[in-house]
Amino acid sequence: MTYPGDAYQAVRGGPPLAFRFNVFFFMGGIVPNPLDIRFSKVSGLSSNIDTQSLNEGGQNLYTHRLPTRIQHDNLVLERGMAIGSMLVAEFNATMSLFKFNPSNVLVTLLDETGSPISGWLFMTAYPVKWTVSDLNAEQNQVVVETMELAYQRMQAIRL
């Protein structure tokens, strides 16, 4: 038995690897800053449908579960602290001035040649949390900033 992904995997040599990706912020139609496309980790690529249970009179074997709305986890981006980042300026404006400038965010998965093979578009994304790793004089570690975004909707893109 063959599955739709089998042809792709046979040509490409297996399922895609998760360590080749880019993140693009579409802020005001400006070309993305090279500092703001590279992250070490992306998480929160998920959504689920909430359901409501409905009991049918006289039916004791099961309960109807009806879909009500789609819920999305926050998009979480991690990277080494970047100096001169426009994205940091946007997060700073949100966190210090309560000024929101929602934008669309595209996460792309890349093949071994660097060409996009899949993606996820997050529409109307805005910052909801920003953390910087602990500063510790006893450890020789990179300062990591974590950026968390809420968004209106997620659209999976398969190329």
pLDDT digits (tens, 9 = 90+) for 113-129: 888 999 999 999 999 99
For 4-158, give the CATH class. Answer: mainly beta
Parallel/antiparallel/unpaired status of strands 144-150 and 153-158: unpaired
Top-confidence residue, 50 or 30? 50
Grade residue 6 by pLDDT with cuts at 50, 70 and 90: very low
Distances, alpha carbon 2 to alpha carbons 59, 90, 137, in Å = 40, 47, 56
- Single-letter code of the amino acid located at 38: R
Enumerate the domain spans of the chain: 4-158
Q: What percent of the chain has pLDDT above 90?
A: 60
Integer Cα distance of 45 and 134 in angstroms:
26
pTM of the model: 0.80
Q: Which of 16-25, 41-50, 121-130 has the lowest mean pLDDT?
A: 16-25
